[in-house]
Amino acid sequence: MKEKMELKNSPAQVFAENLRDFLKLLEEMESKKENVRTASGELEGPFNSKAAYGYTVRLGIGENDFPFRRGFHPRPRPLTHVRSTKRKKGEINDRCKRRI
């Protein structure tokens, strides 16, 4: 006889339960008209280990959620990279160390 596999503690089952709990939390916040909810707690793990956690859930987008300027803004190049094509008579060429 084939035995049925138990999915009680499988990663997919745990993920589905956590997702369902999160959706219930969002539904509660919406029904109570809450914009922010903060929670924290502690979980017990194997070998008497404990993990502390905390989270904040915010609904909606606020004014200061995104920076004012986004994207690439190049800096101006320093003047040391700008070279003149004309040289004065008697000026020393830095590459060759000779007079022009």
User: One-letter amino acid identity for 8?
Assistant: K
Helix (H), strand (E), coil (C) string for the chain: CCCCCCCCCCHHHHHHHHHHHHHHHHHHHHHHCCCEEEEEEEEECHHHCEEEEEEEEECCCCCCCCCCCCCCCCCCCCHHHCCCCCCCCCCEECCCCEEC
Q: What is the model's pLDDT at position 1?
A: 47
pLDDT in tens for each of the 100 residues of the chain?
A: 455 555 566 788 888 898 999 999 999 999 999 999 998 999 888 898 999 989 899 888 777 776 666 667 677 776 665 566 666 666 665 555 555 5
Q: Which of 61, 41, 44 is nearest to 52 (CA)?
A: 41
pTM tops 0.75:
no
- As a whole number of angstroms, the distance between CA 100 and CA 87 comes to 8
